[in-house]
A and B are shown apart, each in its own frame.
Chain A
Amino acid sequence: MSKENQWQVIGLSESLPADKPVGVHCDGVEYVLFRDAHGVPRALEDACAHRRAPLSLGCITNTGLIECPYHGWRYDGSGACKVIPNLSADEKVPRSYRVTGYAVHEQDGFLQLWTGGLEPTAPPLSLAMSPMAAEWFGERLIAYPFREFIDLLLDAPGAILDINGLASRDDHRFGDPILDAKSICVEYGVASRATARSGRVISDFPYSLVLNVRRDGRQSKLQLLDNSRKLLSETMLIARPVERALTAVKWRGTGTATQRGLLRITARDRIDPHAVMKAKDYCSRLCSASFAPTGEGEFA
């Protein structure tokens, strides 16, 4: 569990509506996200300063404040309590009445939260992707522990990823993983699903899947290339531990149409235990010593 202040990708832009707060668990901390009157995303600790009821069960007022469901205390985007119902006109809300606020950065369709409060001391993560004709996004909550999820992504991406009509051959890596200070890069052969799973020998793969996984495992850029190294699709996969053995996974991808259609890379809704049994812990074991506990570093 990370304790250092950092930017965490905690959602997709589409997952935060204008009229409703959303609760988010991240590394054992509960946050509430909401959009203020200008549509700007805000994040606060998800416990009212009064009696700690979760603000995420409340509502957004017409003035863009978040209202606690229990006694109606209302907070602005910085966490300051602005309204306490039933007080008379000459009663003011004390300035010290507030909850912790967190900076939120919205870019490239992702919401990032600075875990250290309202004043970030590092620039947000770069999550930009190659612009292509089509885009997609999605999210899932997967009943699989985060660390093991990332290990499996590196060792057997086919157990986690779904590529339209295609599948990675998880025992066929193109060379050993490449480790640098910021990430680990590994490439797998990809073929049609029927071929990849047939066990047939494949001399020349028509596609390859390049995984570029950040050192802490929370951000992965997945690229599908054809055998001329042309980029067909690209997906930014965000993973983070939630509670107990749950991992929250969000993705956003772009791609171009091929003869097989759009080759979207997405996360499966469940992990096939047979694929887990077959997975060899080669990449994860090789890389485990180099994984950093915190999310420092970005892709080159």
Chain B
Amino acid sequence: MNVLEQAAARTQAITSPSADWRPGDFILRDAWFPVAHVPDARRGPIMRMVHSTPYYIWLGDDGWHAESRHPSDPTAGPVTVHAVHELYGHVWVWYGDSHNADPTLIPEIPFLWRNRSQPAHARGVNFFHCTYELVLENILDLTHIDFVHSSMTGAAEHAEEDAITFQSTSETVTMIRTVKGRLTSRFQREVLGVEEKLQDQTVFTHIFIRSGVCFLHSHYSTAPSIPLMQSNTPESRTLTRANFAFGIEQTDNMQFRHAWPATAPIIAGQDEFVLNPQNPRYYNRPPRRDCSTRFDAAGLHYRKLHGELVARQEAGDMSYRNDYREGADVASVLKIKRLD
């Protein structure tokens, strides 16, 4: 039984995704994954994994290649040639049936340049030692910020208003959290010189269920902010590659343009602190229902949509529905200026 068949067998056993959420048990196919920053891939051939499948990527005279075997590997045998595309400073590879690899399915990223990479200080990579669904839940559930990242973002426990709304398509979930009267963070006070004690904040997270790609952005009443694209590529059930790129062009504050991306490894380390031990508590434990609150609404909706996608793919339907393209323009949702 191969990996896909095992995943299908496990899927059969699931009756309700929220009652028995088993992240990592399902492999969603037919999606573009931004597996490498272009400057990294240009040094290739490099190897990247998607769902435990190796992709060797290099730039030849005739363009990008992504194959199942290193070009210098003398081993005989069949080679799988994968669809590959360069966009927004990333090399995207297709996981699934290459006949369905339509480049227009690559998400629009309005805060990144279509045909060039972000500068080195505004891009990078982190790893989370868990399955990518847990990373996406982490991103959709921003109440963890108050505990895990409060040194960077301030604490909201005593905020006068704290509301979460979400919207979705069949392929994406967008979460918006609005907090009034949130404490300003140490970072904002010490690095940005913010003097106010309290601020209003609106946080957006937008995730793509199949690929794990996400956008994060905040608006603070007291300070600037920079949107983030993070890849969250599922390399395996225990490792997620998070290539990231900051849309630094959204602010004119040059100090902030350099200082904020430098916090990425710190914030990732804080998330890794909880995600790493969280992972075996899902795959090593008997099924049980997680308890939730209204703050988890977006995450629970993600589980539901994920389950629906799994069911569709189990039935052989790999297609994207029309609402995916209709909801592709997130610039207005994120309230950012589009780069062309």
Contact = CB atoms under 8 A, between A and B. Distances in A.
Interface stretch (B32-40, B48-56, B73-81, B286-294): B286-294
B278 A52 contact: yes
B291 A54 contact: no
Contacts of B296: 50
Say which size band chain B's interface belongs to: 20 to 34
A59 to B, nearest CB: 10
B300 to A, nearest CB: 11
A114 to B, nearest CB: 20
A246 B156 CA distance: 42
A297 B299 CA distance: 49
B273 A71 contact: no
Contacts of B146: 71-72, 85-86
A282 interface: no
B278 A53 contact: yes
A71 B290 contact: no
A124 interface: no
A70 B141 CA distance: 10
A62 B101 CA distance: 56
Interface in A22-66: 47, 49-54, 57
B154 to A, nearest CB: 14
A45 to B, nearest CB: 10
B277 A50 contact: no
B43 interface: no
B325 interface: no
B285 interface: yes
B295 A52 contact: no
Given A53-B277, A53-B278, A57-B273, A81 B291 contact: yes
Contact of B290 (A50, A57, A69, A84): A50
Most chain-A Cβ atoms within 10 A of its Cβ — which of B273, B281, B295?
B281
Given A49-B291, A85-B157, A86-B162, A71 B147 contact: yes
Contacts of A96: 291
A71 B150 CA distance: 11
Say which size band chain A's interface belongs to: 20 to 34
Contacts of A81: 291
A133 interface: no
A97 interface: yes
Most chain-B Cβ atoms within 10 A of its Cβ — which of A51, A68, A84?
A51
Contacts of A85: 143, 146-147, 157
Interface string A72-107: 100000000100111100000010110000000000
Contact of B274 (A49, A70, A86): A70
Given A50-B292, A52-B290, A72 B147 contact: yes
B137 interface: yes
A57 B281 CA distance: 14
A272 B147 CA distance: 45
A69 B147 contact: yes
Interface string A257-294: 00000000000000000000000000000000000000
Contacts of B187: none
B293 A87 contact: yes
B282 interface: yes
B258 interface: no
Most chain-A Cβ atoms within 10 A of its Cβ — which of B147, B159, B278?
B147
B293 A54 contact: no
A94 B294 CA distance: 13
Interface of A: 47, 49-54, 57, 68-72, 81, 84-87, 94, 96-97
A-B pairs with the 10 shortest C-beta distances?
A52-B281, A49-B291, A70-B274, A97-B291, A54-B277, A72-B147, A53-B274, A47-B281, A86-B162, A85-B157
